[in-house]
Amino acid sequence: MRTKKPSELASPSGLLRLVCHTAMGAAMGAGFALMLVLIDPAEIATLIAHGGTEATAVFVGTLVLTFAIGATLSGAVFILTEDH
């Protein structure tokens, strides 16, 4: 019978790893937003330019937040299912 292991997320090293996953996701989201604006595959830059600075902030913020949340959740799954 297996004994129940304590959660790795509750330890300081687990939280640091989770914060690192969040930072990686935020950086990926910012990079993706920059790539979409520079490459402009669907004339996204034109749409953002018509919206002003608020539209740019909302566009970049949405992508950064989405990527950061996704990376945090997947990092939590990786940490919890990791075998030692």
Q: Is the pTM of this model over 0.75?
A: yes
Cα(76)–Cα(19) distance, integer angstroms = 10
Residue ranges per structural domain of the chain = 11-81
Cα(20)–Cα(26) distance, integer angstroms = 10
Task: State the pLDDT at residue 2.
Answer: 64
Cα(21)–Cα(79) distance, integer angstroms = 10
Q: Which mean pLDDT values do the consecutive 10-residue runs of the chain (84 residues) have?
A: 71 92 97 91 88 91 96 94 79
